[in-house]
Structure 1
């Protein structure tokens, strides 16, 4: 056998294409399905030669009998060339910021390129043209807009299983427990999207309905998935599903969303050192149709919004400078919440025990 041969140039074009296909199924690719998928590249003999080449060069290994043989990639796809400095920056930024947004098979296939990118940037420590590139990774960051809450833990193998099923349009057997349920529920579902929102990850699925009616997309919190297993090709993917519509129109990712309404806010802008401090709502819009009417000391904001828990929390956060004028129901809700908060803070500390509860008399 030819050991330590990781040079992509030593693989035939068909062997490289075969290895790339294997990498999409880490659990193994049945030989019969491989031959069917590669049929356009050559006949059965040619495909078998490519498989034998991968085995001899230790890029892949078969298991099982001839009829039920399964092939697995045991080495990542070798990089075809040395990346440029700019490509190296792009590759390492991708690995740093978005690895969970990619299927695990894609990440694995890029590992040689990541390694090559690191090699490029570390090749000449004193080279001035590489110094700026090496420092770039410490010059950009992605932060969430609110207080940085510690994200709940999620098993890495769950991301691999979910990413693989999502990439290949395969079903999943999910065991899931909400915060209100004592016992988890089990069901089969078809994954449609994976969303990162703040410190949380959501898997959007459609499950099988006994009524025969079309299923509604459901966002499941990844940290509440107790177990997940691949279920192969079973449920169909809804070809009409649009992730953009799901997020922006259906508002399914909001907590307890209401019907769209027009909101009017009186926004005050503070003065510091004789200068007006621009309020965030001037540049960060609540909706595409937002309008602003300048007033003395601030402005009146009008926008079409969807009432929800996140929106309420945002308005409470800005309550020292933002008044809800309409709709009246939202204004009354804000008044009630702020009164409750004030009542809690006006409670003398000496009548509270260490847990914050008022002791019984």
Structure 2
């Protein structure tokens, strides 16, 4: 018997027991569906968040105090002047700005809102490619150096505080301080921010420091001229600060790419764990295939005896049952792939993730299906091939 005859015979055996074959496929379908859905969503989510992080922080890095440092932490560990010097002396740095942030209550004529307040220099706006002027203007170097009490509000915040009024030129209250609104901006939000909606406002950092008893800079935000310049820029910043302030291992510099790499490692590990858990159902499905094939061998003992009596070799019987097992698993695998991609697409639509077909997971799924069909079908097929034709013909 050639391969094609064995193939057609296997199909006839599957078709003759449609219900049993479908139930056999069920475990494979569930397992493949789970693996495909998990890996596709994992890769799609990873790509989407990487794209977002690239858009918001390409070529960027942050400089902050190492809180595990053995040196004493002082208010002047990071200064506005340090940022200005670094922006002049390093050809690898496009922008580097001092940065402070705080959560405050900002009061307008209509209502009071909780606001994320940012204090920085005018270059901060140049770094934020997702920020666009909506009304008025942004503050400039003169506003910063003269410590003017001006503020730039997020456009939606302006609407909350002033209603239908034009906020430009109006005043808002921050505790005992009164600030003039000189402009509003729109900002593209991080797509996967799961926190409550908050509004932003930006003030000149020198004005912000004038309100503090002991002014300090929380961190520097930097941007290299291009991607290859990120590491040299980070090294130059760390070397300068260490030399200037005479403090070893006192500063940490971290690029956005490092954060992206850490995130990819985490999501990759989680995807692997969930895939292994989902893969357990494949093993369970394989055991089901073996059980059903053993039942099939028992039921078709007489048929096997007749085939052997008519000249079928042991290898013919082995191949027939093995092909039958593999076909069941491959059909189950195909259905599982379609279900998995469909479920992943549905979840991606609700989670605002880009549709991503993971060919690797598809090939792996079919590879697993074939392997399970061969591995778990081998024992029943071998058992069928070993049957003695005389004993098989006597079987009732």
- Bin the TM-score by the shorter chain: under 0.3
Which structure is richer in relative contact order (CA contacts within 8 A, separation 6 or more)? 2
In terms of Rg, which structure is larger?
2
Higher percent of residues as helix:
2
